[in-house]
């Protein structure tokens, strides 16, 4: 079995993760999806349908043909597709780190959620971007290391199952069949 180095960063209270993403307007988008459904969106939809415990699943990476435009290109919030990635999203894509974010002290999040940002992999095990999993309504005490480890294990299982369905990064942008 291939061993992967895993670096975990825990986002602390007051982190600005996702702050700009939810308010981006059409003028701020750096990519427009094609008129047809892409394979990446199909995978996101399938994951959401199979896992009702999730609040969202989003796929991020470089815009096709670009070397510096990182974006959300598929996910459970269609209005956010094409929004530029935040610096923490780009760090996950570029550095291969995982961010475990229990959303400590975030009273404005509704519903409450627990977020894991981790490298998205293809079927060969190569890091090809970022996948973000958000679970809804975590337990009130979901800010301890046991809960963080539990969510990280769940995210690894979901990500590894997703990877088996991704032959290449380019395939994520192909027409969903």
DSSP letter assigned to residue 9: E
Structure tokens at 110: 């509704």
**What pLDDT was estimated at residue 142?**
56
Q: What is the largest CA-CA distance in the chain?
A: 45
Residues 61, 23: Cα–Cα separation, whole Å:
19
**What pLDDT was estimated at residue 35?**
94
Cα angle value 142/90/38 (rounded, 5°) = 95
Domain spanning 32-173 has what CATH number?
3.30.450.40
**What pLDDT was estimated at residue 26?**
55
**What pLDDT was estimated at residue 14?**
32
> Model-level pTM greater than 0.95?
no
Residue pLDDT tens, the chain, 177 long: 333 333 334 333 233 333 333 444 556 999 999 999 999 999 999 999 999 999 999 999 999 999 999 999 999 999 999 999 999 999 999 999 999 987 766 667 676 788 999 999 999 999 999 999 999 877 665 567 888 899 999 999 999 999 999 999 999 999 998
Is 85 within 8 Å of 73 (Cβ atoms)? no
């Amino acid at each position: 079995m291939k061993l992967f180095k895993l670096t975990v960063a825990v986002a602390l209270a007051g982190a600005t993760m996702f702050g700009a993403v939810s308010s981006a307007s059409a003028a701020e988008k750096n990519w427009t999806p094609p008129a047809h459904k892409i394979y990446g969106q199909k995978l996101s939809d399938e994951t959401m349908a199979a896992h009702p415990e999730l609040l969202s699943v989003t796929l991020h990476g470089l815009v096709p043909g670009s070397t510096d435009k990182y974006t959300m290109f598929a996910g459970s919030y269609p209005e956010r597709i094409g929004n530029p990635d935040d610096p923490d999203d780009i760090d996950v894509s570029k550095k291969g780190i995982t961010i475990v974010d229990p959303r400590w002290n975030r009273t404005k999040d509704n519903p409450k959620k627990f977020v894991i940002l981790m490298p998205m992999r293809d079927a060969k095990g190569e890091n090809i971007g970022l996948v973000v999993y958000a679970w809804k309504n975590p337990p009130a005490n979901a800010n301890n290391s046991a809960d963080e480890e539990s969510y990280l294990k769940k995210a690894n299982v979901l990500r590894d199952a997703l990877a088996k369905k991704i032959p290449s990064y380019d395939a994520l942008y192909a027409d969903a069949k």
